[in-house]
Amino acid sequence: MTTINMTVNGKAVSGDVPDQTLLSEFLRENLRLTGTHVGCDTSQCGACVVHINGKPVKSCSTLAASLDGADVKTIEGVSNGELHPMQQAFNDNHGLQCGFCTPGMIMTSIDMVERYKAAGKDLTSDAIRAELEGNICRCTGYHNIVKSIEDAAAKM
């Protein structure tokens, strides 16, 4: 067992977890933050993406015990009362259907837009599609996800 302390969505949390506990398990089972989803076992689908110290990471492939002191943000921590522009854009552009991949899509997309803005790069639709390589959606065909991200990028 390992004792870990981290900040999740701005709140200090701690827990004693078996060494092999994945961050996704820690979030879902220990903290009951069930917005982070697990859709595969091989870190392909991206439904589990969260931000660790400001970077998008697949929480299904990250040991919780390796994150002592880390600052973690999950889908539950994205909105501050008002929906984040990315969340709003997914609603405005019908960027989700079943909703299962959506938390990971939104976490990936927020980072994507912020990164391109910080680098002063143009986030084209081709770039969005390339950046979504690690996130699989089975419902939308990506058309409206790309539109959602373009829309949010204009507002962020």
Measured from the CB atom, the residue of 21 and 69 that comes closer to other proteins is: 21
Amino acid at 149: I
- 103 near other proteins, judged by CB under 8 A: yes
Spell out the alpha helix ranges (H) of the chain: 23-25, 85-92, 102-119, 125-131, 143-155
Measured from the CB atom, the residue of 26 and 120 that comes closer to other proteins is: 26
Q: Single out the residue of 34, 32, 45, 141 nearest to residue 101, CA to CA.
A: 45
Measured from the CB atom, the residue of 121 and 138 that comes closer to other proteins is: 138
- 67 near other proteins, judged by CB under 8 A: no
- 45 near other proteins, judged by CB under 8 A: yes
Burial 96-119 (b: 16+ CB within 10 A, else e): beeebbbbbbbbbbbbbbbebeee
Interface contacts to other proteins, rule CB under 8 A: 18, 20, 28, 32-42, 44-45, 47, 74-76, 78-79, 83, 87, 90-92, 94, 96-103, 106, 125-126, 128-130, 132-133, 135-146
